[in-house]
Chains A and B, each alone.
Chain A
Amino acid sequence: MVSQRLLREGVADETDLKEIIPPDYALDKGPVAVAECFQEIPCNPCSTYCRRGAIVLENINDRPIIDYDRCNGCTLCVSKCPGLAIFVINKNFSEDEATVTLPYEFLPLPKKGDVVITLDRYGSPVGKGKVVRVQNTRYNDKTPLITVTVPKDMIMNVRNIKVEA
């Protein structure tokens, strides 16, 4: 059952997120994927592109449940998710910063080192972050991945960026 907010507005609420937030031991070890895919839809690329067997779907309609003993936050699934619903969060990027890696299919694309506005699931600004990595290879197939710094307590809040003109 997904929340009324998600059904009506397209924004996951705490009850939805509670089910998918990685356990502390996983967050402590480094980057991990978070699949914000709350609905059973016929789709399985996250599973087929994962090289570590961290997402196993018995039925194509199953929701992706990430095995955090196997997931190492490699990002291979992120640009292959047709719903752009997978993010990689790294709580231990540095002493006082975390990062969020997100798919970003808009122009202009930020460059490494740029400071961008960070947005939440409503698209509302929540702060600023520094772009520490841009992945835009053939594999990403025009779904570039942006890794941006966020405060440690914002890894489950920042889900988009805005590049200032």
Chain B
Amino acid sequence: MINTDVAVIGGGPAGLSAAIAAADMGAHVTIIDRNHELGGQLLKQTHMFFGSREEYASTRGFDIANILKEELKERSVEVLLNTTAVGYYKDDGVWALEEGEDKFVKLKAKKTIVATGAMERHLLFPNNDLPGIYGAGAVQTLMNQYGVMPGKKVLMVGAGNIGLIVSYQLLQAGVEVSAIIDAAPAIGGYLVHASKVRRQGVPILTSYTVKRAYGNEVLEGATIVKVDEGFRQIPGTEIDMDIDTMCIAVGLNPLVELLWQAGCKMRYIPQLGGHVPVKDEDYETTVKGIYVAGDAAEIEEATSAMVEGRLAGLNAAHAIGFDNGNYAREKDNALKRLNALRSGPVGAKIRNGLLKLAEEAV
């Protein structure tokens, strides 16, 4: 049995920030990650981050991962890699961890922060299961972590930030991007990202969706089609795309299996990415002692995930009784930053979703 003050499940931007903050307060922190390396999805982010200096703006995602890992080392946080949290025993508050293959250990923490992130959604169309049709994040992993090209010609489905960023990264890797399509009538991601792929010559077709994919064993092409305001396909507007790869970037779902299993109250809030846990202002879920942060709490940017992680880490450690004297100030600062990041027009969706979650929490 491993005993710790604060357990953090997931070593991505939220989890790393949570671990650092909790350790700063004086807690003994154990971070659990099923991968062989900490950093989560930061490891494959080659673009510079937005936000302010405090959220490492203008620094590339993989560099941010290295900065956070260094900070973790300085604070002697216990790190369990290649370890998956597979279950939670409600009766005695014990987490079951699988280390590597077939070795199970128990972990008991005074407080646990679930920062498990998110996974990519899929889209319905005929033959959407053909090899060669990948989540955009999967292609990022393949290219940016392993240096392998996904194919020669790619259709990107989704003009949100992930679709736009991955398109740009495909071009940097030397892969042709035939087009970026999105069923919505307007680009969903930051317009600056759209402009930088557009000036590389990549067309962005809004109000278009995938009619079907085709191919024998693997993807050999696809037909896209224009949609009307009701997202109905308009006959006669089909375009045939000569592609060998399709990237799906139509959004993410929070990875919340552990929270379901722990019995946390969950609500379906589309603006937050699907089923998300009800949480209080300290980021504690309805199960006492279990906190949440980052994409597992709601789908947003990695910048806000880092601030949320910080808040959850501060609060979890403080609830045990740890305080290095800076708790109130640090918390206030993090809350102000988070509110600032969400205060503009692009934060409206998150603000509405959080309001809805608060209303439905009761």
Contacts and interface: CB of A to CB of B under 8 A. Distances in A.
Contacts of A121: 195, 198-199
Interface of B: 47-53, 57-58, 60, 171-172, 185-187, 190-204, 206, 303, 340-347
A6 interface: yes
A44 interface: yes
Nearest to B346: A41
Interface of A: 2, 6-12, 36-45, 48-49, 59-61, 80-85, 105-106, 119-124, 141-143, 159-160
Given A42-B340, A105-B172, A119 B191 contact: no
Contacts of B343: 42, 59-61
23 contacts: A7-B186, A7-B206, A9-B194, A9-B198, A9-B206, A10-B191, A10-B197, A36-B195, A39-B190, A40-B345, A42-B52, A43-B50, A43-B52, A44-B51, A44-B52, A61-B347, A82-B47, A82-B48, A83-B195, A120-B199, A121-B195, A121-B198, A141-B60
Contact of A160 (B200, B203, B347): B200
B198 A123 contact: yes
A49 B344 CA distance: 22
Contacts of A7: 186-187, 191, 206
B171 to A, nearest CB: 7
Given A7-B187, A82-B48, A119 B201 contact: yes
Contact of B58 (A9, A38, A82, A105): A82
Nearest to B347: A42
A43 B51 contact: yes
Contacts of B347: 42, 61
Contacts of A82: 47-50, 57-58, 192
A61 B51 CA distance: 9
A104 to B, nearest CB: 11
Nearest to B164: A10
Contact of B195 (A11, A42, A141): A11
For the residues of A in contact with B, the DSSP-based class is loop
A124 B204 CA distance: 14
Contact of A10 (B48, B51, B171, B194): B194
A7 B347 CA distance: 17
Given A10-B191, A38-B191, A83 B196 contact: yes
Contacts of B60: 141-142
A36 B345 CA distance: 18
A159 B199 contact: yes
A60 B341 contact: yes
A94 to B, nearest CB: 25
A122 B344 contact: no
A83 B191 CA distance: 9
Given A41-B344, A45-B58, A61-B344, 20 more contacts: A8-B186, A9-B198, A10-B191, A10-B198, A11-B195, A39-B346, A42-B303, A42-B342, A43-B50, A45-B57, A61-B343, A81-B58, A82-B57, A83-B190, A83-B193, A83-B195, A84-B196, A121-B199, A142-B60, A159-B199
